[in-house]
Homo-oligomer: A and B are copies of this chain.
Amino acid sequence: MLDPRRLCIHQVTLSLRLSTPEFVAALVRNRVPATALWRDKTREHGVAATAKLVADGGIALSGYCFGGLITSPDAGEAARARDEVRRALDEAAELGAPCLVFVAGGVDPRDKDIAAARSRALDGIAELLPHARSVGVKLALEPLHPMICASRSVLSTVGLANDWCDRLAADDIVGIAVDTYAVWWDPDVDREIARAGRRICSFHVSDWLPDTQDLRLDRGMMGDGVIDLPHLRRGVEAAGYDGYVEIEIFSQRNWWQRDADEVIAVIRDRVQGDV
């Protein structure tokens, strides 16, 4: 059973048809202590206004989703993408979010060179560190599932995130976001979570549905899939993580279709179990 003070529900878990004020009101009404805000929605409502909303509601922030996509082989494009990450870091600081969830970027059809894309991502992160430090917001490197390697993230495993952190040698300002959905299949995940240790600064939870129908938007509610979630939670906690358990479910065909109060009630019910 999860300590209810550690429950965090990401904005993207509830239907994005909700405005940010409607979303925050749903959290307050249901006594959800924390969230991670979604950048598009935050900018739509305004960063300062959103900061005030969550502060007034007494909602804590686990992080800000997301910044990144810096792997372009075109130097100008990549520089503009890094500037966009700097703006996202500024917004996270203004919101009071401790980290920016960082999504590396994919493989460009123009060069089809995944090794080069990984190299550009790592170099690009190194360039972003001074700005992250100056605003006091950690970059939470999030390995994403290999099925979105081409489109979203060449950072595909916790092992590679550890390798990058070793190279960056900046554990004060770079961490790792472990997402159960992205990493559960990895034969090395237990070892690499242990190796990550206190680098783990964010823990995202959802389940893998046996009949998954979409590469991004068909995540499952905890308990509806095949991931041994208690095992992964024990792993990150043994590594030293004691922060929020962050429910992040992209679900176009199911949960996004439902009422916010209902979704939150189901989440509360499921985290009573050992997830």
Contacts and interface: CB of A to CB of B under 8 A. Distances in A.
Interface centre among A106, A151, A211 (most CB of B within 10 A): A151
Interface stretch (A77-85, A93-101, A111-119, A123-131): A111-119
Nearest to A155: B187
Interface in A61-115: 106-109, 112-114
A185 B107 CA distance: 10
A118 B185 CA distance: 11
B150 A147 contact: no
A157 interface: yes
A149 B185 contact: yes
Nearest to A209: B150
B151 A185 contact: no
B112 A226 contact: yes
A246 B239 CA distance: 44
A144 B185 CA distance: 11
A159 interface: yes
A145 interface: yes
B157 A187 contact: yes
Interface of A: 106-109, 112-114, 118, 145-147, 149-151, 154, 156-157, 159-160, 163, 184-188, 208, 210-213, 215, 225-228
